Structure 1
């Protein structure tokens, strides 16, 4: 990794990195990953293009870090719902999944990640250790969700990998809107969530 240019103290490094993330979020949301250049990111953050590489190996790495922040925010909101306290467990879970689905679908950064092969492009530019760390955090998050749901006694026995697969299948359905049919898409998603929750939640007395 290139050395930081002289003159950047610890506080400046932190400020520049935060600015890169803030400006990156704006530019990536507006123009997408492919159409946003390192020169534009650097200019918006008040540094030279060469200095950009002192903070990130590539624009894909910056994009990935911003996406991780978006995902963490969504996970935090998802985990804040206590199903054990719900009067109607099934309806609460359906509402939670539908709200999370719409949040992901309407997030410009996450939408950009999924379309135009941006995911493959991004992954190919990331250090293996960063990807490995991300996948471990994802697995830990699913385990936490599953443990919380199991402890509340609201769902049937299911392993973490299967639950992760179900959630991934649901949250990537927006990629197939045209194949599903745009006219029936909203109702299809709602019914899919309904069937999914009916299969997960323990029958209530």
Structure 2
């Protein structure tokens, strides 16, 4: 059953009342629109006014959902990180019978495919650094976990021990994932190039 608790938001001098369900749907719509804009326009070129018009609320109502545009984009970034972690976690859980190097290779390829399919790497590469610079330190300390942290967590969870040490393995894996940014330059052979790089590297690392 839909909860009927009312959330009051002011719009153009009048008062609108949303149920908790409606508020949650608007929040999801904001996140979806922001993710689209992050990939197509970039954070700097996306305005609060544009986002609120897209989801059908007044600009002033935006701050009932997020403290700032940066906090909304941060929510999108965290969502992307969580999705990628989920993709990697699932790939590892489904390949338990394979040799370690093959398991890790499949994880990297699965993550690269997700980034390639969604276009999220554009946002990560172009805006993530600037976004983090604009966030309050207390927010980053409590909520932000970088890619290195996520990779280390997965290695520990599945008892994957790199031959060359965790730090080098983490940096190398991250470097392989960054090749998604060069997909267009590499051209139609990108899938084969990526698979060759990933498989060869994982044999060296694990």
Q: Work out the CA distance in 1 between the residues paired with 2:35 and 2:112.
A: 20
TM-score (normalizing by structure 2):
0.73
Q: Cα 1:181–1:14, aligned 2, differ >3 Å: closer, same or farther?
A: closer
TM-score (normalizing by structure 1):
0.73
1:64-114 Cα distance to aligned partner (Å, 9 max, x none):
211211221221121122377324443333232122112213322332331
- Matched with 1:144 is 153
- Matched with 1:86 is 97
Q: Match for 1:97 among 86, 108, 127?
A: 108
Q: Match for 1:164 among 160, 165, 170?
A: 170
Give yes or no for contact 2:39–2:119 (8 Å, CA) kept in 1. yes
Q: Cα 1:138–1:177, aligned 2, differ >3 Å: closer, same or farther?
A: closer
Q: Cα 1:124–1:157, aligned 2, differ >3 Å: closer, same or farther?
A: closer
Q: Does 1:195 align with 2:204?
A: no
Matched position secondary structure for 1:74 = helix
How far 1:39 sits from its partner (Å)?
Answer: 0.9
Matched position secondary structure for 1:156 = coil
How far 1:187 sits from its partner (Å)?
Answer: 4.2
Give yes or no for contact 2:88–2:107 (8 Å, CA) kept in 1. yes
Q: Work out the CA distance in 2 between the residues paired with 1:181 and 1:9.
A: 49
Q: Work out the CA distance in 1 between the residues paired with 2:152 and 2:41.
A: 35
- Matched with 1:124 is 133
Structure with greater proportional strand content: 2
How far 1:31 sits from its partner (Å)?
Answer: 3.6
Q: Work out the CA distance in 2 between the residues paired with 1:108 and 1:181.
A: 16
Give yes or no for contact 2:74–2:131 (8 Å, CA) kept in 1. yes
Matched pairs, number: 193
Give yes or no for contact 1:84–1:154 (8 Å, CA) kept in 2. no
Q: Does 1:52 align with 2:62?
A: yes
The structure showing larger relative contact order (alpha-carbon pairs under 8 Å, at least 6 residues apart) is 1
